[in-house]
Chain A
Amino acid sequence: MTDSRTLRRLFTVAGILALALPAIVASARVDFSIGIRYVSPDGTVQDCSAKAKAALESYLPGATESSPGSGEWIAMGQNILTGAASSAAAVRCYGLPKGYVVTFTCSALLPANPYGAGPLCLDIAHKFHGGALTPLAAMPTATPVPTGCAMTNLVGTWVSDSDSKTTLTMDLAGSLTDNEGVSGNWNLDGTTVTLTYYGTHTLTLSSDGKHIHGGNYSFTRRC
């Protein structure tokens, strides 16, 4: 038999409904989770807010309240590799004559985010009221930018041998940008370089990884 003091401390779980909606469409990119709602028979909106902020910030940085005292909290997470927001959660508290009701809603951009909205919402809700927590997949970390004149990539800054003002900056994703902001792409297969830049050009990477030559192009890498 549960004593009344314990009862008072515990939240009434009015309904853990669907923890996450079933996959609505297999190709869904925005994953959305609703349906976790708790009714607390005691406590204030301020109590709810404090727990909401703490629960959100256990998983996402910088929870904010939509307006002071509203009890409505939101936080966003960012994929470091893309530099764009890829996960978010909202915790909304509403005061009742006795206690409060709180809802949890989450979203995730897949596949940029390494975990779905359902696991995120479940962990935030459990953090809020003390349930079991399941570790979420780690957010990918930035890959170190290669340095030096590697033979495996063209990453770096290349200077035209015929005009030192003309440069191409090539990144790890296969993109290039010249000194005037014109963009293109690069590909390396063995020592064969394909530049998509004002048309498609085939060049050859030198054995020291420092020069590319071919057609009307000749560049030297700064390394």
Chain B
Amino acid sequence: MSATALRAPAALDMALGDRRVVDNQPVSACDASAKAALTQVVSNAAEASPGSGEWVGYEPATGPDGIVATAAIHCFPVGGGYVVTFTCATQVPPNPDSASSLCGKLSAAFGAK
């Protein structure tokens, strides 16, 4: 029984997601997959600067808490391919996904493209 509803303090969660090395594909393929994965999972994507291969997305605010989930995908050319990393941060609560879970969804979406 509770006389008032008390809300747990929000905490920041941050996670190192996957790191993958992809051979024989240009970094432009990484860029395209990164943009598509972010758009699919968090609704939007932007490159830090044109051609940087550093992509960020965030879940649009749907309530008073503002942005509660963000993610970055870094693409870097290596040899004839590229290396890609996923890094995520969420505010829990209210975001239902942990940062690790969000990164997992992004990694899956990246690979599915």
- Asked whether, in the complex, the Cβ of A74 is within 8 Å of the Cβ of B83, the reply is no
Question: Of B2, B61, B68, B74, which one neighbours A182 at CB under 8 angstroms?
Answer: B2
What is the total number of residues of chain B having a CB less than 8 Å from a CB of chain A?
Answer: 40
The residue in chain A whose Cβ has the minimal distance to the Cβ of B50 is: A17
* B65 interfacial by beta-carbon distance below 8 Å: yes
- Asked whether, in the complex, the Cβ of A108 is within 8 Å of the Cβ of B12, the reply is yes
Question: Of B1, B14, B79, which one neighbours A107 at CB under 8 angstroms?
Answer: B14
Q: What is the bound-complex CA distance between A112 and B10, given in angstroms?
A: 9
- Kindly provide the distance from the CB of B64 to the nearest chain A CB, expressed in whole angstroms: 8
* B33 interfacial by beta-carbon distance below 8 Å: no
- Kindly provide the distance from the CB of B103 to the nearest chain A CB, expressed in whole angstroms: 11
The residue in chain A whose Cβ has the minimal distance to the Cβ of B60 is: A25
* B25 interfacial by beta-carbon distance below 8 Å: no
- Asked whether, in the complex, the Cβ of A27 is within 8 Å of the Cβ of B6, the reply is no
CB-CB under 8 A from A180, the residues of chain B are 1
* B107 interfacial by beta-carbon distance below 8 Å: no
- Kindly provide the distance from the CB of A167 to the nearest chain B CB, expressed in whole angstroms: 15
CB-CB under 8 A from B87, the residues of chain A are 34, 90, 92, 105
CB-CB under 8 A from A35, the residues of chain B are 48-49, 52, 54
- Asked whether, in the complex, the Cβ of A183 is within 8 Å of the Cβ of B69, the reply is no
Known: A29-B65, A72-B16. 7 other contacts (CB 8 A): A28-B67, A30-B12, A37-B54, A76-B12, A84-B12, A101-B76, A112-B12
Per CB-CB distance, the 3 closest pairs between chain A and chain B, nearest first, are A88-B14, A84-B11, A107-B89
Listed A/B pairs (26) with beta-carbon separation below 8 Å: A24-B67, A25-B66, A25-B67, A28-B61, A29-B65, A29-B66, A30-B67, A30-B68, A32-B58, A66-B16, A74-B14, A74-B16, A76-B14, A82-B11, A83-B9, A85-B14, A89-B14, A90-B16, A92-B74, A103-B54, A109-B11, A109-B12, A113-B12, A183-B6, A184-B3, A198-B3
Binding site for A on B (CB under 8 A): 1-4, 6, 9-16, 19, 46, 48-49, 52, 54, 56, 58, 60-61, 65-70, 72, 74, 76, 78-79, 83, 85, 87, 89-91
